[in-house]
Amino acid sequence: MQYGFHFNGQRCTGCKTCMLACKDFHDLGYDVAFRQVYEYGGGTWEKDAEGALSQDCFTYYVSVACNHCAKPVCVKVCPTGAMHKDDRGIVTVDGQRCIGCGYCALSCPYRAPKVDREAGHSAKCDLCADRLDAGKSPICVEACPLRALDFGEVGDLRARYGTVADLAPLPSASVTSPHVVITLPRCLEDEPSRAGTGEIQNRREIV
Amino acid sequence: MTNHEKTSVSRRTFVKGSALAGLGAAAMGTASLFGCAPAAESTGELADTGEAVADTIVWTHCAVNCGSCCALQCHVQDGEIKYVESDNTGSAELGEPQLRACLRGRSIRRWLQSPDRLNKPLKRVGKRGEGKFEEISWEEALDTIASEMKRIRETYGDEAMTSHYSSGVCQGQVQANPVKRLLNLTGGFLNYYGSYSSAHISAAGTYTYGGGTYGSSFLTIQPGQLVVLFGDSPADTRMGGGGHTHDFAYIRETTDCRVITIDPRMTDTTCGQGGEWIPIRPGTDGALCAALAYEIINNGWADEEFLHTYCVGYDEETLPESAKGKNASYKDYILGTGPDATPKTPAWAAAITLIPEQRIIDLAREMHESDPVYIGQGYGPQRRANGEITARAIMVLPQLLGQIGKPGMNDGRREGCASVGLGMLPTGENPVTTNIPTFEWPNAILHGEELTALNAGVQGADKMSSSIKFIWNYAGNCLTNQHSDINLTHDILADESLVEFIVTSEVFMTDSAKYSDIIIPDLTSQEQISISSDGYSDNMIAVIFGAPVYEPKFERRGIYEVCADLAERLGVGDEFTEGKTREDWLREIYDEARTANAEKGMDMPTWDEGYAMGVWKMKPEPIVKLADFVEDPVANALPTPSGKIEIYSETLAGFEATWELAEDEVVTALPIYDPGFLGYEACTEEYPLQITGFHYKAHTHSSYANNEVIQTAAQHVAWVNPVDAEARGIKDGDTIRVFNDCGEIRIEAKVTPRVIPGNVSIPQGMWHDADMAGDRVDHGGCINTLTKYRPTPLAKANPQHSNIGQIAKA
């Protein structure tokens, strides 16, 4: 049993409803987010002899939370065993055992775990485990106005959506073997040579 | 750091929330407890004490002015919302209607339960606009309002009274109507026409098609066809699952249509979803349209049969008698045989629009080759000094190509909207017939008696008989923040000898509220019983049945009850209520719509059934605009003077001859390219940049702009092209000054290739924050500190995107 997410880059418009629904449901403050939305893009402008302008710009958004990886770095570096995978494959933290050292937060290339200093332990996306218990979807999946997020047993997701898990600016899937399936944005599908040629356009919004 | 202080407040609940979540929820109950009050479900959730905590689900809806309206299911415990779900009824597949709230609706908990809410009536104690108030009793507030209404009406007459244009409560069937009903019952009030959103395209629609701003549904788009959108981005403006962004995403995915957006910004509609962005210099869409028309006509692609059958003024043959023999046709204008003797070639347009000549030539060919082709526009191109004529110019393209009236075609207006036809709380008859363009109100304060039909678009009378002396501002931030030239408007409003009394009903201390003499604390739509249709969308018709999420808190009161109390004081209590409560009116409105729709075969639930459901929805037939007219143009003639589509408008020719217009104000029979005032040609060495605004995900106009959980996730930044940034030593993230003759704002720069060079683009709606007694530098970054107050030539509307200015590192 292993749950994962599907992200559809051909539907996402970067509206951030997933992120804010998560913040609302988990009551997260201004500087904590269990789900991030990256704006990624590039391109340059040119002026022709007559003064008219041409450009080859592209932009897409990537919504990403914890990918409940097969090789979770956060679990590997945790000195107390607080960070662990449960029987549904959800990477989750045992608040009783966590000492709040922050190694998980520092090591995760997806920025998934955070340290709640006041509570004294780490906190992260748990796939809204309580909602799953009640037969519901994670709040982010249910929130997306364009149904760009899905979740489920990762084998089912891969059968339905394919096996792509690499999309800039996310780290290479080879690092942690994330349980995420990605439908590439149209602007990459149309021009694959754009892959990796841009940069994050909203660094200050990423927490 | 403000943000950190705020974080520590919310952090306490964060920890508590996590403890609750970790223990898991019991199975969600399904039994409806709805009687005559909330649509609610009780669930049992285990707290860390092991005791069950009652969790009540209350349906309600968002009510701000994005145009759409989405459903909210609030999970309430002990009179407090814990979290929000949205519409999760029915299928979750793309294409199936779910009125899923966007990030703003999803964050409504922190907005509703903000410690900054207004809780008690306030009376101004400092100078007007200074922002100094003291708490007073409701008794004193209502007595003062009633006596001022009476005094001012008796002194200056009924036309001196007005209910100010506003849109903070823009969904639901009550809105500002109780205020208007009260004003009507006590003698009437100066009314307004047109909005700050769409007054220009509305005028364009009137003089071209006989009225209306909406065309065909996106859902009529056919497989593989071309879609060309001018300044229209559903992903930015209609963001909820109940809005056009959903419909458009669905149709793009299922038809694989090719989408081209023409815009100064690369909008969120042309990102991961694909499509092509053609950047255009702001305000020059009309020049592009003229050049596309040149290519279409010159290549013999114009559908002359369509033009001769359905349109007036394409060529000499179809001109009205009054215009014949003067080379006054559209074709003459385009080919250069008209009075200006200038062929509107792609090379001519390239220099104006900055779009390469070849791209214009190719675009014309693509539009010709796609059958059907969907050509539409949003409200961006029209919200300018030359907005009316630009909107008309875009509408001509599908006319030339004969691409109107069949599936996949659009008449050049905005995407279509379905409607369930719910009525509003009736305002009654207004004994005052005088009606002014919305944007003329500052002139109507300064010198109302001088405003006429010919100089200010006054309707219903030849002229105004008095200036505005009393303003009721219901849930509106258009006194300053969402109006133009805040520094000028401050001076007008601060002069207490001009408007003698301003009352504002609000939920927060907005910048506009600061100019009030009395502020009364309103209940939000979510805190009252409220039914609402789903607003602008084309794949659904819906009604949301909203109940109060919790009992009224502090001394906040609903506007209907407040106006009923005032009516009592003014001697029209019985006439105002007709013995009905807010709920009684809503039931009546709903039952009327239900009966009317039943006659059309639409099966709506009863009131009680609706409240048990929370949301009722159905999929309507997509709209093919003007299909009837194209089918039979005689039997289904348009409500224009000629009964046809008017490329040449005799009415406008009449205005041109009679209206009092400045030299740079163009009202003309043909939809020519006119740069308008404060376009790119007005740029100077001092002010070399164009400054435009845009609708941004972090707020709807100024609503929710004070909800910091959204503002930190989607930050308020000015979009600056790297070319313009580098020339000024500005780096991404720098705080910059943006300034012109109107004022100065401070804002962070987002250095991005997603905006055309020469244009700085700023999200509209952030709250003005300046020391108005000091330097007046706006640290809130409200674009209307920089926008000009000057009504446009035809609609007398807001030229909000026509600005020039400069930027510099702060």
Is B288 inside a domain boundary?
Answer: yes
Please tell me whether residues B164 and B255 are part of one structural domain: no
Q: Among partner residues B24, B713, B723, which is closest to A133 by beta-carbon distance?
A: B24
Is B637 inside a domain boundary?
Answer: yes
Is B5 inside a domain boundary?
Answer: no
Is B401 inside a domain boundary?
Answer: yes
- B171-195 burial, b at 16+ Cβ within 10 Å, e below that, comes to bbbbbbbbbbbbbbbbbbbbbbbbb
Segment A133-138 shows an average pLDDT of: 96
Cα–Cα distance for residue pair B520/B322, rounded to 1 Å: 56
- How much is the pLDDT for B43? 52
Count the domains in chain B.
4
SS3 assignment for B614-663: CEEEECCCCCCCCHHHHHCCCCCCCCCCCCCEECCCHHHHHHHHHCCCCC
Kindly state the helix (H) or strand (E) to which residue B60 belongs, with its residue range: strand B52-61
DSSP β-ladder status, B501-506 and B518-521: parallel
CATH code for position B499: 3.40.50.740
- How much is the pLDDT for B10? 35
Residues of chain A with C-beta less than 8 angstroms from the C-beta of B6: 29-30
Residues of chain A with C-beta less than 8 angstroms from the C-beta of B680: none
Residues of chain B with C-beta less than 8 angstroms from the C-beta of A57: 266, 277, 753-754
Q: Residue for token digits 């789900």?
A: A35
Task: Check residue B131 and report its DSSP letter.
Answer: -
CATH code for position B719: 2.40.40.20
Q: Residue for token digits 């709903």?
A: B590
Please tell me whether residues B139 and B234 are part of one structural domain: no
Q: Among partner residues B26, B103, B279, which is closest to A53 by beta-carbon distance?
A: B279
Is B764 inside a domain boundary?
Answer: yes
pLDDT tens per residue across span B108-127: 999 999 999 999 999 999 99
Residue B100 touches partner A, C-beta closer than 8 Å: yes
Please tell me whether residues B736 and B800 are part of one structural domain: yes
Please tell me whether residues B367 and B432 are part of one structural domain: no
Count of pairs with CB atoms under 8 A, one residue in A, one in B: 238
Cα–Cα distance for residue pair A207/B312, rounded to 1 Å: 58
Please tell me whether residues B720 and B751 are part of one structural domain: yes
Please tell me whether residues B80 and B152 are part of one structural domain: no
Cα–Cα distance for residue pair A155/A134, rounded to 1 Å: 22
* Positions in chain B short of pLDDT 50: 1-40, 44-50
Listed in sequence order, the residues at least 6 apart from B601 whose beta carbon sits closer than 8 Å to its beta carbon are: none
Cα–Cα distance for residue pair B398/B416, rounded to 1 Å: 16
| Chain-centroid distance, C-alpha B760 | 21
- B78 exposure class (CB count in 10 Å sphere: 0-12, 13-18, 19+): exposed
- How much is the pLDDT for B531? 98
Q: Among partner residues B106, B350, B709, which is closest to A50 by beta-carbon distance?
A: B350
- How much is the pLDDT for B540? 85
Nearest-CA distance from A19 to chain B in Å?
A: 8
Is B591 inside a domain boundary?
Answer: no
Mutate to test the interface with B, among A8, A20, A37, A205 (most CBs of B within 10 A): A20
Please tell me whether residues B491 and B537 are part of one structural domain: no
Task: Check residue A71 and report its DSSP letter.
Answer: S
Residue B265 touches partner A, C-beta closer than 8 Å: no
Nearest-CA distance from A176 to chain B in Å?
A: 25
Mutate to test the interface with A, among B271, B699, B748 (most CBs of A within 10 A): B271
- How much is the pLDDT for B671? 98
Mutate to test the interface with A, among B273, B357, B724, B734 (most CBs of A within 10 A): B273
Residue B17 touches partner A, C-beta closer than 8 Å: yes
Please tell me whether residues B147 and B275 are part of one structural domain: no
Residue contact B25–A134, C-beta within 8 A: yes
**Nearest-by-CA chain B residue for A125:** B18
Q: Among partner residues B268, B356, B715, which is closest to A205 by beta-carbon distance?
A: B715
Is B673 inside a domain boundary?
Answer: no
Peptide bond into A171 cis (omega under 30): no
Nearest-CA distance from A70 to chain B in Å?
A: 23
- How much is the pLDDT for B578? 98
Domain that holds residue B780: 680-809
Mean of the per-residue pLDDT values of chain A: 96
Please tell me whether residues B46 and B146 are part of one structural domain: no
Residue contact B94–A57, C-beta within 8 A: no
CB A52, CB B356: distance < 8 Å: yes
Please tell me whether residues B297 and B317 are part of one structural domain: yes
**Nearest-by-CA chain A residue for B100:** A145
Q: Among partner residues B21, B241, B266, which is closest to A59 by beta-carbon distance?
A: B266
Structural domains in chain A, CATH included, are 3-38+53-205 (3.30.70.20)
Is B379 inside a domain boundary?
Answer: yes
Please tell me whether residues B208 and B264 are part of one structural domain: yes
Listed in sequence order, the residues at least 6 apart from B688 whose beta carbon sits closer than 8 Å to its beta carbon are: B758, B804, B806
Residues of chain A with C-beta less than 8 angstroms from the C-beta of B93: 147
- How much is the pLDDT for B11? 33
Please tell me whether residues B208 and B191 are part of one structural domain: no
**Nearest-by-CA chain A residue for B723:** A45
